[in-house]
Structure 1
Amino acid sequence: MIHADTEQAKADSGPWALGLYVHVPFCASTCDFCGFYQTVPTASDVKRFLEGVEREADLVRWDRPVSTVFWGGGTPGLLAAPDLARLAEIVRARCGGRPAEWTVELAPGSVTDARLAVLREAGVTRVSMGVQSFQPALLEALGRRHTVAQIDRAYERIRAAGFPSVNLDLMFALPGQTAEEWTADIREAVSRAPDHLSTYCLTFEEDTKLWIKLSQGRVKLDPENEERLYRSTWAQLAEAGFAQYEVSNFARPGHACVHNLNTWRMHEWVGLGPSAASQHAGVRGGNVSDLEKWHEHLARGERVTEDRVEVTPELRAEDALIFGLRMNAGVDVAVWQHVAPATPWPAVEEVLRLLVENNLAERVGSVVRLTDRGRLVADSVGSELMAAFQSLAPAV
């Protein structure tokens, strides 16, 4: 049975939590699957990046305290310990207090005791480590340069440093990966007792090495296999005590990523760094995905120049349903009908009715959530809802 979360309904109708995302664009090498903006750093690049983040932060109107922080990349852990300390100092000065949750992404090969000590002292509460696989051949196929031994050393150091929450990222549906190998990866991850697991189905981002291989026919998509692996993942992690709270995310009690939850609920966040996205002060957009051009924009006092749009109530409602239905808790539609009354709700309600009729969703009162079958086609569900918000005929 579904129960509407009264407190969440109040939160979704505002005022909203404020998150801070910092994109650290530096990587020693580019993985075959990665579509995020990144560049190989030099000492001068890092120095100018830190100066740029501080300059950009000064351009933001900080209208309330920051509740969550997330550093992604790239590889934030590629920064030397003193540089991490400087970045943390810049962030803390703008947060209006210590954030309740502060996540930093780390690659196994970048984890050192010195870096961890700086992060722990700064107030970081959550470390997310990109493992991807425990199979050496698959790591090589992905272009990942770490080894299983490095994963274990890094994990032991992270645990010894005392971070309250640790996530491991895994990927499945990799070229050549068998169901047995994926089961083994889940088993290996669970045996290390993380607090959170993110399991991502491999996607082929345009202009990546894997995309080129796909376009050349050197690798192929297999939707039926992906479905089997999805279902296997959900069953295995449920048995291991991890609750699924979003299509790709699982946590032990109290360890769901609050920053991501607030983002999926269409709250507000400030993005700093090249390619970082923001949704704040009535505007959504991103920074240019180029380190030098980002500096040039900042020198002119400009930020959030790419894909800049006004965040209307209708746009927030649309994305709150599309992203919210990816979460197991679902969405209280009545909240968003109140927030955005000008939305074409009859068309949206028709799509929701068809989802329920086709066993892709279930509804109790005003709360709608996807079934397991619906979560397998969450992207298609999102497309149908997008059409409804644009008053196009639904085709579920």
Structure 2
Amino acid sequence: MTAPALTDPSAGTRPPRPYQHYVYAYPHKTAYRPLEPAPRLADLWTGEGRQALSLYAHIPFCEVRCGFCNLFTRIGAPGDLTRRYLDALERQAVAVREALGDGEPVRFANAAFGGGTPTFLEAGELARLCDIAERHMGADLRAIPLSVEASPATATADRLAVLAERGTTRLSLGVQSFVEAEARAAVRPQRRADVEAALARVREAGIPVLNIDLIYGIDGQTAASWRLSLDAALAWRPEEIYLYPLYVRPLTGLGRRRAGAAPEAADREWDEQRLRRYREGRDHLLAHGYEQVSMRMFRRADAPPQGPDDYACQTDGMIGLGCGARSYTSTLHYSFDYAVGMSEVRSLIDAYTVTEDFSRAVHGRAVDGDEARRRHLLQSLLQAEGLPVADYRRRFGSGPYDDFPAELATLAGRGWLAEPDDRDSGRLRLTAEGLAHSDAIGPDFFSPAVRAAMAAYEAK
């Protein structure tokens, strides 16, 4: 099964479908390929900036696999798998820190534990994960923003106490829906009472920033039930709320249920339904004192800052630990192999746990000047504050209108781009409707080479 096709921005005049790809990173991981020969990490990081790195640790375990999930994760961890996984992650951390060397000080500006569900680990294992980040990588977790993802079932008091004591500044809870029938429809069965109890524990733990994830577009969801979930989340006054559109991807639980192409009319109707729920959610949060940061992210206007964070995702490097984590240098993005299907995920995790040599990058994609321009533009333009044109010009010696005239003209023609008064020093922003169509705008800027690689990817 191949990756879903991308809309060609030059094809026809009909606006593209609004839900194509969530561009949280570029190039997409389905464009990665085995690196032959596999480069040494020490060579990759020679000459790279090390004063504002991001550290990410991937924990690929969940207590249940949600029907919409296409993340690199497995259900459960039989035997001593979590211990063996942390053993491998520690070996990887030692190898990566050695590759970074001591010629220039290494400083981490932020850290995150994601997955999967990091809080699937028991309290003692979470403490060990923090030890690996601190002792082997040199990240001062109590001095930098640290974000951790959790599920209601695993947000237990003992785990939260460890995270709070080790400096966690943000806890993201994947609620998805407060309506039990919707949670079942998304193959995320949970009782609302259990969700509320988990939220209470997070607040009691004293972690400064609580984020609640909600999903719109679930089968059976109505304007009224969507408002119920929004109001239930608002009752906790979370510092952040993320609103995610439901996607149905190949090899996921919902994907198997919907095997076979749906009629185009049905897909278009679902698109319109999701757009209505998005606008309802956006307007409701804005009316309740939240500011829009991106299509998905809303932050309470009076929320306290998480702490110092001088990491710039457009330019600074990332160190990823774990079998599903990415790492970024200025010229190469790399990781391990990627899968969604359960048997393949289990095999890759097992292979990771027995790996002894982590000194080389084995899977990735080179990032040349053109791809760096696309990445910089995407990671700025898809934020509500937009792209400072002067920053882009300072980095690349050209402006976005020089590099992407056709794409930007198309966005402006659709009413999705608020053009700056000064194309040389202004700020390039999406309109409100442009933000609503972020998942269609992102693919417009994918390079032909990345499009081809994604189209050729065989899902597994």
* TM-score category (smaller protein): 0.7 to 0.9
Structure 1 pair 155–21 and aligned structure 2 pair: CA distance change class (3 A) = same
In structure 2, what is the equivalent of residue 205 of structure 1?
A: 249
Amino acid corresponding to residue 270 of structure 1 in structure 2: I
- Which one of the candidate residues 193, 214, 217 is aligned to 1:149? 193
Structure 1 pair 260–147 and aligned structure 2 pair: CA distance change class (3 A) = farther
Instruction: Among all aligned residue pairs of Structure 1 and Structure 2, give the percentage whose two residues are the same amino acid.
Output: 27
> In proportion to residue count, which structure has more helix?
1
271-280 vs 14-23, greater mean Cα deviation: 14-23
Residue 72 (str. 1) matches residue 122 (str. 2): no
Written as runs of structure 1 = structure 2, the 5 A alignment for 1:218-233 is: 221=267, 222-233=270-281
Which residues of structure 1 form unaligned runs of 5+? Answer: 1-13, 391-396
Looking at structure 2, the residues matched to 101 and 360 of structure 1 have their Cα atoms a distance apart, in angstroms, of 33
Written as runs of structure 1 = structure 2, the 5 A alignment for 1:329-368 is: 329-341=385-397, 346-364=402-420, 365=422, 366-368=426-428
Residue 286 (str. 1) matches residue 342 (str. 2): no
Q: C-alpha displacement at 1:176, in angstroms?
A: 1.6
Deviations 1:93-133 (A, max 9, x none): 22343342101111101121111111111111111101000
Return structure 1 stretches of 4+ with deviation > 6 angstroms: 256-261
Q: C-alpha displacement at 1:273, in angstroms?
A: 0.6
In structure 2, what is the equivalent of residue 301 of structure 1?
A: 358
Deviations 1:57-107 (A, max 9, x none): 112244521111111111111111111111111112223433421011111
Residue 374 (str. 1) matches residue 431 (str. 2): no
Q: Give the conservation status (yes or no) of the 8 Å contact 1:326–1:375.
A: yes
- Using the size of structure 2 for normalisation, the TM-score is 0.75
Give 3-state SS (helix, strand or coil) of 2:428's partner. strand
Structure 1 pair 35–208 and aligned structure 2 pair: CA distance change class (3 A) = same
Q: Give the conservation status (yes or no) of the 8 Å contact 1:277–1:304.
A: no
Structure 1 pair 315–259 and aligned structure 2 pair: CA distance change class (3 A) = farther
Q: Give the conservation status (yes or no) of the 8 Å contact 2:51–2:107.
A: no
Q: C-alpha displacement at 1:305, in angstroms?
A: 1.9
Which residues of structure 2 form unaligned runs of 5+? Answer: 1-48, 339-347, 451-460
Written as runs of structure 1 = structure 2, the 5 A alignment for 1:19-168 is: 19-39=54-74, 40-60=76-96, 61-62=99-100, 64-93=106-135, 94-98=137-141, 99-168=143-212
Structure 1 pair 15–28 and aligned structure 2 pair: CA distance change class (3 A) = closer
Deviations 1:196-230 (A, max 9, x none): 00110001122101112233468953111111111
Looking at structure 2, the residues matched to 210 and 263 of structure 1 have their Cα atoms a distance apart, in angstroms, of 35
Q: C-alpha displacement at 1:31, in angstroms?
A: 1.1
- Using the size of structure 1 for normalisation, the TM-score is 0.87
Q: Give the conservation status (yes or no) of the 8 Å contact 2:149–2:174.
A: yes
Residue 180 (str. 1) matches residue 199 (str. 2): no
Structure 1 pair 282–300 and aligned structure 2 pair: CA distance change class (3 A) = same
- Residue-pair matches, total: 375
Q: C-alpha displacement at 1:263, in angstroms?
A: 6.8
Q: C-alpha displacement at 1:275, in angstroms?
A: 1.4
In structure 1, what is the equivalent of residue 31 of structure 2?
A: none
Structure 1 pair 281–388 and aligned structure 2 pair: CA distance change class (3 A) = closer
Looking at structure 1, the residues matched to 247 and 312 of structure 2 have their Cα atoms a distance apart, in angstroms, of 21
Q: Give the conservation status (yes or no) of the 8 Å contact 2:209–2:306.
A: no
